[in-house]
Amino acid sequence: MTGTGGHGMTGDLRFSWELTGSGWARYRIADATSERADIVSYCTDALSDLLRAVASLYGAADAPRVSFDLEPAEVRWRLQRQGENVEITIYRFRDMSQSWNAPDDEGTRCWSSNQPRAALGRVRKVLWSLVCSWCVVMS
């Protein structure tokens, strides 16, 4: 797992997801100034949850959250809508079995970026294609 803390506002948001082994995938999220990458379990529905969270930013949701299972740790993404922008903040918790309902600030803030909501809309297209291809692989 790697990561650098940062706080950028560029609209230059990149996201990738690759399978790394049986039960594991690596995500990478980056802006123009920093990036975060983790190896996470794909045995949960976190990728679809992330797609739903990004889509919900165009509805009534103000701050959807998505948890990635690192077994036993948790990485939680909070997408906080701020007008036409979204503050993406990633927190890390030592033990998912104890952090599931914990407030975000009990975790360690390990990455953040403020992005135009439209940048997440572009990421949503990538997520949708990943989820669709994932469904084909799993069937």
pLDDT of residue 136: 42
More confident residue, 5 or 132: 132
CA neighbor of 122 nearest in space, from 3, 34, 10, 36: 10
pLDDT at 66 over 90: yes
pTM: 0.83
Give the separation between CA 18 and CA 134, rounded to whole angstroms.
11
Evaluate whether 130 touches 47 at the Cβ level (below 8 Å).
Answer: yes
pLDDT at 30 over 70: yes
pLDDT of residue 128: 65
pLDDT digits (tens, 9 = 90+) for 75-90: 999 999 999 999 999 9
Residue with the two structure tokens 């927190």: 91
Q: Tell me what percent of the residues of the chain surpass a pLDDT of 70.
A: 81
DSSP helix/strand/coil, 111: strand
pLDDT digits (tens, 9 = 90+) for 116-125: 998 887 776 6
pLDDT at 49 over 60: yes
Give the separation between CA 80 and CA 135, rounded to whole angstroms.
28
Give the separation between CA 12 and CA 33, rounded to whole angstroms.
9
DSSP helix/strand/coil, 133: helix
